[in-house]
Amino acid sequence: MTLTKVSEFVRPRNLTEAFSLLEEKKARIIAGGIDVILFPTPAERLIDITALPLSGIEGGEEGVSIGATTTMTELLESPVLRGYLNGAVCEMLRQVASPLQRNLATVGGSLMIGHPWSDLITLFLVIGADVTYFDGEEHEVPIDRFYAENIHRRRVILTGINFPAVRRGTAAAFIKFSRTAFDIALLNCAALVETADGRCTAARIAVGGTPRRAKLLVRAAAELAGKPLSEEVVVQAARAAQDEAEVGDDIRASADYRRELVGVGVYRVLSRIRERLEGSA
């Protein structure tokens, strides 16, 4: 449907120009543009940043840098991401929306909008990703701080996302519960576990679409510290996650149902990580 409020569509030549256009009046950055159409705002000026050099994927096991306007399809088809963290990013993206939408949707657009059901945010939290953004100067902040401080609601241009290097003995997994293949998540879960000599040296667990935006479950992750990733430990961590997660009701699912899903989801992602660690050992 036509966005009747929009009176101007501009393609800036560089970030500085894009940012100054953003400051002047009711303006909104547009990349893939899905949310600009599905969730219209009173914006009168749309600033298309897809012509700027903000697209691309670089790196490997030593860390990955992704430009903000890289599409989800480009991420899914990237050999770099297939080789990073046992392909966990691709595992997640295959469950996001439909291929038609993934051909449009950009990683930056998805993070900047920050829907509470976002599958990307849940996984990127456990990866320990950093978000880069521009507000006249460049900034880089951990993704949990990016949302905790509501930076995505400020007048900023998200420029990219960086994943850290992966140590040996590390694996991650993601799971999404939804009614149909590309429906919005009823709940999603992700975990990353680092091990040395068969014991967990670091772990992060996150659940999203609770129905609020994903958060790290610190106490549940602490259940794993120093222990081997046994069936018993996985069950304990899943129980701790159920206690810790803040879940609520909305149109998609009840709080009770979501609490059950937290337990099942965390159990499954940790079990999958266990298989992956055993498979790579």
Partner 1 sequence: MKIAVKINDVQREFSITPGETLLELLRREGYKGVKKGCETGDCGACAVLLDGRAVNSCLVLAAKVDGHTVVTVEGLEKNGELAPLQEAFLDTGAVQCGYCTPGMLIAATDLLAHNPDPSEEEIKEAISGNLCRCTGYVKQVEAIKLAVQRMRGGEDA
* Footprint on residues 33-52 left by partner 1 (CB under 8 A): 33-34, 36-38, 46, 48, 50
Q: Please list, residue by residue across 211-248, b when 16 or more beta carbons sit within 10 angstroms of its beta carbon and e when fewer do.
A: bebbbbbeebbebbeebebeeebbbebbbbbbebbebe
Q: Which residue has the tokens 């909104």?
A: 28
Residue from the set 15, 104, 235, 255 that interacts with partner 1 by CB under 8 A:
104
**58 belongs to the binding site for partner 1 (CB under 8 A):** no
- Burial tier of 187 (Cβ tally within 10 Å: 0-12, 13-18, 19+): buried
- Number of residues near partner 1 (by CB under 8 A): 31
Would you say 96 or 217 has its CB closer to partner 1? 96
Cβ atoms < 10 Å from Cβ of 21: 18
- Stretch of residues binding partner 1 (CB under 8 A), selected from 26-34, 55-63, 202-210, 267-275: 26-34
**8 belongs to the binding site for partner 1 (CB under 8 A):** yes
Q: Please state the closest distance from residue 98 (CB atom) to partner 1, in A.
A: 3
Locate 160 and state its tokens: 């990219």
Q: Please state the closest distance from residue 95 (CB atom) to partner 1, in A.
A: 10
Which residues fall within 8 angstroms of residue 137, CB to CB, at 6 or more apart? Answer: none
**251 belongs to the binding site for partner 1 (CB under 8 A):** no
- Stretch of residues binding partner 1 (CB under 8 A), selected from 5-13, 55-63, 157-165, 195-203: 5-13
**73 belongs to the binding site for partner 1 (CB under 8 A):** yes
**98 belongs to the binding site for partner 1 (CB under 8 A):** yes
Residue from the set 181, 196, 218, 225 that interacts with partner 1 by CB under 8 A:
181
Would you say 38 or 281 has its CB closer to partner 1? 38
**182 belongs to the binding site for partner 1 (CB under 8 A):** yes
Binding site for partner 1 (CB under 8 A): 1-9, 30, 32-34, 36-38, 46, 48, 50, 73, 77, 94, 97-101, 103-104, 181-182
